Amino acid sequence: MIFSLATGAVTALCINVLNTHDIKLARKLYSFLKPNDVLVGDRAFCAYADMFTIKKLDCDALFRKHQSRTTTMRKGKIFGDCDKLVTWHKPKSCPKGLNQDEFNALPKSIIVREIYYYIVISGFRTGRVSLITTLLDTTTYPTLEIVGLYSKRWDVELDLRHLKTTLGMDVLRCKTPSMVRKEIYVYLLAYNLLRSLMWSAGTTYGNPPLRLSLQGTRHHLNNFIPKLLATSPKKLLQVYRTLLKVIAHKAVPDRPGRSEPRVRKRRPKAYPLMTKPRHELRKQLQTA
């Protein structure tokens, strides 16, 4: 999926079988990009072919540098202590996920911008971060703004948590592929509906939409649904504006650099996992 950093809504989706590689599936999402979009992602997507493909679509990319590439500030055109332009050369062999025709269409080299910085916040696992981007103009895109933009990548993890935990999409209950797809689409429809309410409430009453609570928006909407259904068409707009006002009433506090211990609060039950169908387990109980 592709999430909007401005609204938090899902803007693109691709589904495939379980053994499909993440990169191969993600490359299908590039067709949903629009000119001047900036795609932010983690190190898994920082590949030569992806950087070229995204730039060819009149878009830009900002990824964390892949761990297989060494980091040095002694080469390239240096702009500051932690900012430079470097030349990437085409791989010698065709990487996995590309066919030979796609590999032959790649240029011999591309120019990218590399930025690195250190994180000294207690509780953060990463101490040094190296970024690769196609936003080459240092005047239009200062170093600190690039770093600030990448820090918002974590919002995607929170959006996924909302989908899986808040809305309950962590366990899909349908049994056939077609019904599983429909189930996912219904969850995304409900999620984007909540995001649209948060956007309308925030922009109407002057609160940043991303600072509003998605769980709170869900509760308020559920409470207002009977009222919305029973209201006459003349008063429907008034009730809707009241709903927006209630949603925008209290924003989530801004907590930059917040860190929490990586532990589980609830202990798992001391039962073994169900690795066989229920009727086989019942037979084992009867014969035991």
Residue 68: inside a domain: yes
Residue 25: inside a domain: no
pLDDT in the model for residue 37: 95
pLDDT in the model for residue 68: 80
pLDDT in the model for residue 165: 92
Q: Say yes or no: 77 and 100 in one domain.
A: yes
Q: Say yes or no: 115 and 174 in one domain.
A: no
Instruction: State the pTM of this model.
Output: 0.84
pLDDT in the model for residue 236: 92
The CA–CA distances, whole Å, from 249 to 45, 94, 210, 244 equal: 39, 55, 14, 9
pLDDT tens digits for 31-90? 999 999 999 999 888 989 999 999 999 999 999 998 887 755 556 566 667 888 988 989
Residue 274: inside a domain: no
Q: Say yes or no: 41 and 125 in one domain.
A: yes
Q: Say yes or no: 119 and 54 in one domain.
A: yes
Q: Does residue 186 surpass a pLDDT of 60?
A: yes
Range(s) of the domain holding residue 230: 158-247
Residue 268: inside a domain: no
Decide which of 256 and 3 is more confident. Answer: 3
Q: Does residue 5 surpass a pLDDT of 70?
A: yes
pLDDT in the model for residue 23: 86
Q: Does residue 133 surpass a pLDDT of 70?
A: yes
Question: Which of residues 105, 121, 145 is at a domain's end?
Answer: 145
Question: Which of residues 117, 145, 173 is at a domain's end?
Answer: 145
Per-residue pLDDT band at 124 (split at 50, 70, 90): low
Number of domains, the chain = 2
Q: Say yes or no: 242 and 195 in one domain.
A: yes
Residue 54: inside a domain: yes
pLDDT in the model for residue 78: 64
pLDDT in the model for residue 102: 87
Residue 200: inside a domain: yes
Is 207 within 8 Å of 251 (Cβ atoms)?
Answer: yes
CA-based Rg of the chain, rounded to a whole angstrom?
A: 24
Residue 42: inside a domain: yes
Residue 2's beta-bridge partner residues?
A: 12
Q: Say yes or no: 174 and 73 in one domain.
A: no
Decide which of 257 and 253 is more confident. Answer: 253
pLDDT tens digits for 272-286? 889 999 999 998 888
pLDDT in the model for residue 220: 95
Q: Say yes or no: 169 and 119 in one domain.
A: no
Question: Which of residues 98, 118, 145 is at a domain's end?
Answer: 145
* Alpha carbon distance, N-terminus to C-terminus of the chain: 48
Q: Say yes or no: 181 and 242 in one domain.
A: yes
pLDDT average, residue stretch 224-238: 92
Q: Does residue 225 surpass a pLDDT of 80?
A: yes
pLDDT in the model for residue 98: 83
Q: Say yes or no: 41 and 136 in one domain.
A: yes
Q: Say yes or no: 135 and 162 in one domain.
A: no
Q: Is 194 exposed, middle or buried (0-12, 13-18, 19+ CB in 10 A)?
A: buried
State the average pLDDT for the chain: 89
Q: Say yes or no: 121 and 195 in one domain.
A: no
Decide which of 9 and 70 is more confident. Answer: 9
Residue 24: inside a domain: no
Strands 2-3 and 10-12: antiparallel
Q: Say yes or no: 117 and 199 in one domain.
A: no
Above pLDDT 70, what percent of the chain? 93
